[in-house]
Structure 1
Amino acid sequence: MSVSVDIRLKRANKVYNEGEVLSGVVVLQCKEPLPHHGILLSMEGLVNLQLSSKSVGVFEAFYNSVKPISLLSSSIEVARSGKIPGGKTEIPFEFPLQAKGNKVLYETYHGVFVNIQYTLRCDVKRPLLAKDLSRTCEFIVHCQPQKAKVSPSPVSFSITPDTLQNSRERDTLPKFLIRGHLDATCCVVSQPLSGEVVVEHSDIPIKSIELQLVRVETCGCAEGYARDATEIQNIQIAEGDVCHGLPIPVYMVFPRLFTCPTLETTNFKVEFEVNIVIVLQDDHLITENFPLKLCRV
C-alpha cells in the first residue's frame, strides 16, 4: 500500500525567531484506510561539532567528551491510535519555539566543523509487520536582531611589496600599488559587503582579482581548541589586466545558511574573514585579509 507523509509549515521561507510559534500541517496521503498506533511530531535543535583530520589524536579527550549540544527538544502526539481514511488527510499542529532551560537558540548555520540545525520529524507508528513511516523537515532560526544601529566604518587599504607579511621573496617581487576600501568590516548579514579596488600600477600584468569569503571555525574543550579556516565562496570581480586608476566595485552577498552572525560560546566559535586576492600573470598571489564581524539588525 503506497502511503506518503509530508510536513508543511505555514511560512514558505521556513524562517522563525525564538518565542514564535511554529505552525503547519502533517499531510498523509493513502489510497486505502491506514491503521496506525499514533502519529508523533518531534522538534529538535542541535549543535554538532567535529574536528578536522589534522587534529585527530591531538585532542583525544575532545573525541571522548564532546556530544551534540541540544538547544531544544519537544514532542507532541498529533493523532492517537486509530485509522486514517483513504485519500488526503491534513492534521494541523503548533509548536512554541523555546530553548531548553537557560540555553539560547543560535542561528541556523551549516559549516564544516560546526553545524547548527533545527528539524521537525513526524513518525507514524504502524501495526504488525508494516514498516513505520517517518519524514523530516528542516526549518531555519534567525537570532534576535540587535536593537543598536550598526554604523559603517570604512576600512582603507594600500598593498605594495613592502606591506606583504608572508613574502620571503620580497626583493624579487614586481613593483605594484593597489589601493581601495571596504565600506564596513562590521557587516549586517542580510546586506552585501561593498567597497572598491583600484590598481594604480603594476610592473607585471594582472590576471585576475577575486573576493574570497572564509569561515573560521573553532571547536574544543578544556584540553585545547582546534581552529580551522575554510572557503565559503570565491567571486571574481575582474579578469585580465584591468585599466590602471579605474575603481573596480566590490560587491558580495553573504550566502544563506553558510553564514550567520559572528558567534562565540564556551565550546565553539564561528568567525568570518574576507580576502582580496590579486593573481599576476606569472601566477604570483597577492592577498589582503580583513576580519569581518557579522550581525543581524
Structure 2
Amino acid sequence: MSVSLDIRLKRANKVYHEGERVSGVLLVNSRDALQHQGVSLSLEGLVNLQLSSKSVGVFEAFYNSVKPVQLVSSNMEVVKPGKIPAGRTEIPFEFPLQAKGNKVLYETYHGVFVNIQYTLRCDMRRPLLAKDLSKTCEFMVHCQTQKSKLQPNPVEFSITPETLQNVRERSSLPRFLIRGHLDATSCAITQPLTGELTLESSEVAIKSIELQLVRVETCGCAEGYARDATEIQNIQIAEGDVCRGLSIPIYMVFPRLFTCPTLETTNFKVEFEVNIVIILQDDHLITENFPLKLVRV
C-alpha cells in the first residue's frame, strides 16, 4: 500500500514571529483506506551548541553547558485513532509560537558551532505490521524589529605598512596606501553592506581585492569560553593590478540563514566581522578587520 505524509505551511516564505500562529495542513495521500492509531504534531525550537576540535579536552566541565537549549516545545494530537479514506486528505492545524517560561525565541541561524532551528514534526502511528510514518518541516523565526539599535556610524580607514598588526619584519614590506570607508558598521540585516575603497599607491602590483564575511561564534560557561571564527562568504571586488586613485565600490548582501542579528546570551554569542583582503602579486596578504553589528529593522 502506497502512503505519503507531508506538512504544508500557509506561508510560502515559512517566516514567523513570536506570538504568531504557525498554521497549515497535513497532507495524507493513500491508495487505499488507511488504518492508524493517531496522528500527532509537535513543534520544537532548539539551540544546538558544539565545541570545535581544538577546544575539546580544554574544558572538561564544558560538556554540561553544551547541552541543547530548548526554546519552545509543544505537542498536540491532530487526529484520534481511526481510519483515513483513500485518496488525498488535508488535515488543518494551528500552533501558537510562544517561548517556554522566561526563554526568548532567537532568530533562525545555521552556524558551525551554534545552530538555532525550529521544526514541526508529524507522526502517524500505524497498526502492528505497518510502518509508522513521520515527516519534519523546518520553518524560520525572525526576531522583532530593533530600530532603536540602528545608528549610522560610517567608518573611514587608511591602510599602510605602519597600520598593520601581526607583522614580524615591517621593513621588508613594500610601500602602499589604501584609503576608503564603510557607510556603516551597524547594519540592517536585510540591507547590503556598502562603502568604497581606493588604492592610492603601491610599489608592488595587486593580484586581487576581496571582501570576506566572518562569523565569530562563542560557546561557554563560567569555566571558560571557546571562540571560533569561520568564513561565511568571500566576494572578489577587484582582480589584477587596479588603477591608482580609482574608487572601487564595496557591496555585500548578507546571506539568509547563515547570518542573524548579533546575539549575546549567557551560554553563547554570535557576532560578525568583515575583512578587506588585499593580495599582492608576490602573495603578501594585507587584511583589515571591521567588527559588524547586525540588526533587524
Instruction: Give the TM-score range, shorter chain.
Output: over 0.9
Give the corresponding residue for 2:274.
274
| Alignment of 1:85 onto 2:85 | yes
Asked if structure 1 preserves the Cα contact closer than 8 Å seen for 2:46 and 2:116, the reply is: yes
Match of 1:283 in 2: 283
Residues in 2 aligned to 1:111 and 1:157: alpha-carbon distance in whole angstroms = 29
Deviation at 1:147, TM superposition (A): 3.9
Match of 1:132 in 2: 132
Q: Helix, strand or coil: the match of 1:76?
A: strand
Q: Give secondary structure in 1 for the equivalent of 2:259.
A: coil
1:292 is displaced (CA, Å) by: 0.3
- Give secondary structure in 2 for the equivalent of 1:120: strand
In the alignment, does 2:203 pair up with 1:203?
A: yes
SS across alignment from 1:148: helix
Question: 1:267, 1:172 → 2: CA distance?
Answer: 44
Q: Distance in 2 between matches of 1:236 and 1:47?
A: 33
Letter in 1 for 2:208: S
SS at match of 2:128: coil
Q: Which residue of 2 aligns with 1:150?
A: 150
User: Displacement, 1:64?
Assistant: 3.9
Match of 1:187 in 2: 187
Aligned length: 297
**Matched residue, 1:261:** 261
CA distance in 2, matches of 1:294, 1:60: 33
| Counterpart Cα distance in 2 of 1:151 and 1:265 | 22
RMSD: 0.8
2-structure distance, mates of 1:58, 1:180: 41
Match of 2:114 in 1: 114
Q: What's the CA shift string for 1:134-192, capped at 9, x where partnerless?
A: 00000000001114272321100000001001111210100000000000000011110
Partner of 1:27: 27
Look up the SS of the partner of 1:153 in the other structure. Answer: coil
Contact 2:149 2:295 in 1 (8 A): no
For residues 39 and 119 of structure 2, the distance between their equivalents in structure 1, rounded to whole angstroms, comes to 17
- After superposition, the C-alpha distances for 1:60-82 in whole angstroms (9 at most, x for unaligned) are 11124531000000011111101
**Alignment partners' CA distance in 1, 2:131 and 2:63:** 35
Q: Residue 227 in 1 paired to residue 227 in 2?
A: yes
Preserved CA contact (<8 Å) 2:274 2:290: yes
What SS does structure 2 have at the residue aligned with 1:261?
coil
Helix, strand or coil for the counterpart of 2:57?
A: coil
Quote the Cα distance in structure 2 between the aligned partners of 1:289 and 1:82.
62
User: Partner residue of 2:169?
Assistant: 169
Match of 2:14 in 1: 14
Secondary structure of the structure 2 residue equivalent to 1:243: coil
Q: Give the secondary structure class of the aligned counterpart of 1:35.
A: strand
User: Any unmatched runs of 5+ in structure 1?
Assistant: none
TM-score (norm 2): 0.99
Give the percent of matched residue pairs that are identical in Structure 1 and Structure 2. 80
Distance of 1:65 and 1:235 partners within structure 2? 36
Task: Name the CA distance, whole Å, in 1 between partners of 2:45 and 2:208.
Answer: 42
Give the equivalent residue in structure 1 for 2:215: 215
SS at match of 1:174: coil
SS of residue in 2 equivalent to 1:54: coil
Q: Distance in 1 between matches of 2:63 and 2:163?
A: 41
Q: CA deviation at 1:223?
A: 1.1
2:245 equivalent in structure 1 = 245
- Contact 2:210–2:237, Cα closer than 8 Å, also in 1: yes
2:169 & 2:46 partners in 1: Cα distance? 47
2:61 partner SS: helix
Q: What amino acid is the match of 1:229?
A: A
Offset at residue 131 of structure 1 (A):
1.0
Residues 147, 296 of structure 2: 8 Å contact kept: no
For residues 55 and 151 of structure 2, the distance between their equivalents in structure 1, rounded to whole angstroms, comes to 39
